[in-house]
Amino acid sequence: MEEEYPRSLMEFEKKFATEESCREYLFRMRWPEGFCCPRCGNPVFWTIGKVLIRCAACRHLTSVTAGTIFQDTHTPLTVWFRAIWWVTTQKNGASALGLQRILGLKSYETAWTWLHKFRRAMVRPGRELLSGRVEVDECYIGAPEEEMRGRGSADKALVVVAVEENGSAIGRIRFRLIPNASAATLNKFLLESIAPGSVVHTDGWRGYRRVTSCGFVHEVTVLKSKGEKASELLPRVHLVISLLKRWLMGTHQGAVSHKHLDYYLDEFTFRFNRRKSMNRGKLFYRLVQQAVAIEPVPLDKILHPEKKQARKLHGRKALTKVAGITLVSKPANAA
């Protein structure tokens, strides 16, 4: 399927002026090779009214929104599309308050929920692994790195970062919120984020000692003197960390809970990896494409991601604000 997306706001408004045009677009995005019954795979169907689709073979009833983040919505798709357009065309990201104002939504909670649904769709299923030379390091969200000692704190969010080297520039990136900086945790992230055979460039932290056994070429750079900074040894990864913290403080006022931080990291990754896109409309295209490729995201799953996440953050309930970034941490069994 040829990439089909609006190049300007006027083109967007003209292309998606009606509910029918939005549904037709979702149909093409969900079934680019033609309809395929989600139950039996049959390509033959007929429509019932304006919304429902019935499979001619197994008679399964579905729709273009069933099984997607738009499932069970009572809001017109034209409003959803305007929300996606606004979110993807904001260079520095979007806040719930900003989305509420631009769409005239009645409640802040609706805007907040929609943004979290979009963040779930910002990770493309089966996305390519990082490759080549990759810098890897960890950072704390919630405090300046130089004020932290060791690599563990119950009151701070520990995040591991991987950044592709593209000559002297930066390629693609990956983030993950992690419970600790142990070898098991770090190696799991590396295996799920970086292609085998790549060069993994890290500092001398003992958690990286078994990187070679995971199928990577390991390059280690250690601090040679007290005056030397980690940001000088791994410049790309620390530049990305700096940009992330600036984004959290600017767009989101520095207030992000531990249990939702992973999804904010996904949003930052989605935007950063597409920063060189020639047209912002292509981000709209990608987000809609991925929104119909993932399962529905009910409110309970958004409010309590710890029930579904494999990556949990355990610890005491804590509220901290250091260096302008506020973080709330709750144990997994908290209400």
In a domain, 231, yes or no: yes
Q: Is 150 inside any structural domain?
A: yes
Cα 263 to Cα 224: distance, rounded to the nearest angstrom = 36
Q: Which residue is associated with the tokens 């083109």?
A: 11
For 25-46, write each residue's pLDDT tens digit: 999 999 999 999 999 999 999 9
155-167: burial string, b at 16+ Cβ within 10 Å, e else: bbbbbbbbbbbee
Q: Does any domain span residue 147? A: yes
The set of residues, in sequence order, having a beta carbon less than 8 Å from that of 300 and lying 6+ positions away, is 307
What span, in angstroms and rounded, lies between the C-alpha atoms of 5 and 27? 14
- The answer to whether position 114 is within a domain reads no
Is residue 282 within 8 A of residue 274, CB to CB? The reply is yes
Which pLDDT score, from 0 to 100, does residue 92 have?
Answer: 82
Q: Domain count for the chain, please give it.
A: 1
pTM listed for this prediction: 0.83
Model pLDDT, residue 254: 62
Range of the domain at 192: 133-243
Q: What is the pLDDT along the chain (335 residues), one digit of tens a residue?
A: 678 999 999 999 999 999 999 999 999 999 999 999 999 999 999 999 889 999 999 999 999 999 999 999 999 999 999 999 999 998 888 889 999 999 999 999 999 999 999 999 999 888 999 999 999 999 998 744 443 335 555 568 999 999 999 998 999 999 999 999 999 999 999 999 999 999 999 999 999 999 999 999 999 998 765 556 766 789 999 999 999 999 988 777 666 888 889 999 999 999 999 999 888 899 999 999 999 999 998 888 898 876 654 443 343 333 333 333 444 433 333 33
Judge whether 215 lies within some domain. yes
Q: What is the CATH number of the domain that holds 204?
A: 3.30.420
Q: Which residues pair with 152 in a beta bridge?
A: none
69 in Cβ contact with 291 (< 8 Å): yes
Give the model's pLDDT for residue 1: 62
pLDDT at 239: 96
Cα 223 from Cα 204, distance rounded (Å): 8
Residue 77 within any structural domain of the chain: no
Q: How far apart are CA 312 and CA 304, in angstroms?
A: 11
Which residues, in sequence order, are bridge partners of residue 178?
Answer: 158
Q: Is residue 223 part of a domain?
A: yes
pLDDT tens digits for range 93-149: 888 999 999 999 999 999 999 999 999 999 988 899 999 999 999 999 874 444 333
The answer to whether position 262 is within a domain reads no
Query: Phi and psi (nearest 5°) for 265?
Result: -65, -35
pLDDT in the model for residue 147: 39
